[in-house]
Amino acid sequence: MSRLPTLAAAFVVTLAAVTGGAALTGYVTADGAAPAPEIQNDHYQNPDLIANDTPGQATVEMDATARSQTVLVDPGVEPTSPGGAFPLAILGLGGSSVADRDIRPLANALIENGHEVGVYVPDPDRQRRPAPPGADPPTQLGERLAEADAFVTFRTDYEPDELDAIESFVDSGGHVVLATEPDAAYSEPGAASLDATLGVTTEPGYVYNMEENDLNYQRVYAEPTGETLLTEGVDRAMFPSATPVGTTATGSDVLRPIAGSELSTTRASTEAPLVVRDDDVVAIGDSDFLSPDNARRADNDALIGNLADFLVTNDRTPPGSGGASGPTGPPGPGQPPANGTAG
């Protein structure tokens, strides 16, 4: 895994202030016509639907005191040239085509607390390593997961041998965060198989709320179903475009949409969860909430910090490690590692 000493500089978020001219009202036109009366429609006066242009700054903090962990992120970026795509693309540095994978708030929190963040981008020209007699050669993803403690994926269409590697990773105590979207390709067998591998489910359609929302009806609020590691400090989260998720495990629901929410495919009210957890796996029906702008909305920054804690609070025992890599105390002085980002 390569090390980039200057990686921190890539996480600086530049804010641009745009000043617009004030609109003039109460004037009389050149032909002497009176101005139009003010709109009195209550629908436009509803304070729940007025855009909040000053949501404040995101403060993503971690509470976990685990030793240095390696978190592997698969942004689902297809390699476009030999050597794979630019590995920092998920941090907002690769152009508009990867904007949906900008997870700087999560990555920054992990790095600032002494953890490694690796980005997986497959190399189409790389040959598989030789395997012992009678064993299948490891996949590129399997090789990277063997060195990782936690895994973040965006419902990629994985091949069967890659799914086997993910299943083995979870069985060995690795933590997984799966973020999906309403427009995910549900017909792709690899993506559907990933749900089965991780024991989670997804539903077609998106959740919306015409009564109370953030900026527009698809940006829905969700509230905790109870007090858990993932909901600490979260009174309300906001998801820009969310699809229901689930699991067969009892008591797995973490966040449900607020009252007034409906599902696009049925136009009926819904309380289907948007975040669920089944032991070592967390499934989320949205990924855009991880972006810097959306991290500032509602309590998304607290939720992102809790997800970072979840990722590094694991019982992962990588092959050949000789012991668990779970929460055994903070890293010692001078030990925070550089952050690997090679594909």
Query: pLDDT per residue over 132-152, tens digit each?
Result: 555 577 899 999 999 999 999
Q: Judge if pTM exceeds 0.85.
A: no
Task: Band the pLDDT of 305: cuts 50, 70, 90.
Answer: very high
| Sequence ranges of the domains in the chain | 49-78+96-123+138-313
Percentage of the chain exceeding pLDDT 90: 51
- Say which residue, 57 or 222, is predicted with more confidence: 222
SS3 annotation, the chain: CCCCCCHHHHHCCCCCCCCCCCCCCCCCCCCCCCCCCCCCCHHHHCHHHCCCCCCCCCCCCCCCCCCCCEEEEECCCCCCCCCCCCHHHHHCCCCHHHHHHCCHHHHHHHHHCCCEEEECCCCCCCCCCCCCCCCCCCCHHHHHHHCCCEEEECCCCCCHHHHHHHHHHHHCCCEEEEECCCCCCCCCHHHHHHHHHHCEEECCCCEEECCCCECECCCEEEEECCCCHHHCCCCCEEECCCCCEEECCCCCEEEEECCCEEECCCCEECCCCCEEEECCEEEECCCHHHCHHHHCCCCHHHHHHHHHHHHHCCCCCCCCCCCCCCCCCCCCCCCCCCCCCCC
pLDDT of residue 52: 58
Query: In this predicted structure, what is the pLDDT of residue 153?
Result: 94
Res 6 pLDDT > 80: no
- CATH 3.30.2270.10 for the 49-78+96-123+138-313 domain, yes or no: no
Q: What is the pLDDT of residue 91?
A: 54
Q: What's the chain's average pLDDT?
A: 76
Q: What is the pLDDT of residue 246?
A: 94
pLDDT score, position 25: 31
What confidence tens digit (pLDDT) does each residue in 75-123 have? 876 655 444 444 554 555 444 444 456 899 999 999 999 999 999 988 7
Q: What is the pLDDT of residue 209?
A: 97
Q: Cα 232 from chain centroid?
A: 17
Q: Quick one: pLDDT at residue 163?
A: 94
Task: Tell me what pLDDT residue 128 has.
Answer: 57
pLDDT(162) > 50: yes
Q: For residues 179 and 72, what is the distance between their CA atoms, to the nearest angstrom?
A: 14
Q: pLDDT tens-digit profile of 48-78?
A: 554 555 566 778 999 988 889 999 999 876 6
